[in-house]
Amino acid sequence: MNYFKVELKRALKEKRILYLIIFLVIMSVLSPMPSFMQKQIAYWHDTKNIQLGINPVDVWMDFIGRSRLMTTFIVLFPILVYSHSIVDDLQYKYINNILLKVSFKVYYKTKLLVCMILGGSIYFITSILCFGLSCIIYGGKESILYGGHYTFSLFGNEIVFGNSIIYLIFISFILFILGSIYAAIGFFIGLYTDNKMLVYSISVLSLSMYDEIVYLISQLMGSRANSFCNTFSIFSGSGGYNSEKVIIINLILFIIILSVMSSKIKKIERNLLNS
């Protein structure tokens, strides 16, 4: 029995990922842009200065990155896709029927994999669609055809891209990784708490509270406060995500949760086998 296909088919049947992608695309493309970003687009149209890297892909990514609301709730969307379903399986005893066909180890590993793939895909697909729609709304054909100059800072190194499509795929891949990690964290919280509201609330609060804790600690450090915030805060000075810090922090959180959950998973498995 190929349980991966069964679980994936079950997840896609809900059509939740489709609704979330449509919602994210509409929210991203139609959200009013700050005036300075509108000026960037207007300047690009006037000068066609592709070396500045000002075009729909940059403007859209920058806009999403600067939205505090979006970067706080960005954790929630990958979880809404499918991670919460582990709670349904446990509460409504669907898992008892599933375990007649596969072992618990196969079940939770397969479900985790499907959650991570779908959680990452929602941002990968959304970023590609938004780029296409941004090109239609704001223009950008010339920059796509003739390239440009795009830089992405990762772990202190500047990665330079000379093509907007390659840059878009790279950014989408980063978003896929983040979405996968968020989905996995939501899955484990659901497995541990057996409560949907806790899955949603803990996931969102974990990211927003982290930055608040960093700020509170920095207030006790006097003259070193700014240096401490710049080192440990996941938000940049402009309000957007600092990608490498987010990836590192969430990977550490994922490893911690995975180690804590190992004993819990064994306990759940014993209880299910004895029931």
Question: Residue 214: which domain range?
Answer: 3-274
Number of domains in the chain: 1
The reported pLDDT for the residue numbered 3 is 92
Rounded Cα distance, 110 and 206, in Å? 25
Kindly write down the DSSP assignment for every residue of 68-108, as one continuous string. Answer: HHHHHHTTHHHIIIIITHHHHHHHS-HHHHHTTTS-HHHHH
Q: Lowest mean pLDDT: which of 117-121, 147-151, 165-169, 251-255?
A: 147-151
The average pLDDT across 222-246 equals: 63
d(CA 33, CA 168): 20
Q: How many residues does the chain have?
A: 275
**How confident is the model over 269-273, as a mean pLDDT?**
78
**Spatial distance between the Cα atoms of 143 and 103, rounded to a whole number of angstroms:** 52
- What is the model's pTM? 0.80
* pLDDT single digits (tens) 25-73: 777 666 656 565 666 666 666 665 554 545 555 555 555 555 555 656 6
The mean pLDDT value of the chain amounts to 75
Tell me how far apart the alpha carbons of residues 245 and 138 are, in angstroms, rounded to a whole number: 31
Tell me how crowded residue 112 is: count the other CB atoms within 10 A of its CB: 19
Please count the other Cβ atoms lying within 10 Å of the Cβ belonging to residue 220. Answer: 9
Q: How confident is the model at residue 107 (pLDDT cuts 50, 70, 90)?
A: very high
pLDDT, mean of residues 234-255: 65
CA angle 37, 136, 45 (to 5 degrees): 50
Helical (H) or strand (E) element with 153: strand 150-154
CA dist., res. 118 & res. 124, Å (int): 10
Q: For the chain, how many helices (H) and strands (E)?
A: 14, 2
pLDDT at res. 8: 93
* Residue located via tokens 């996995």: 184
Q: Is 175 strand, coil or helix?
A: helix
| Residue labelled with tokens 């896929």 | 176
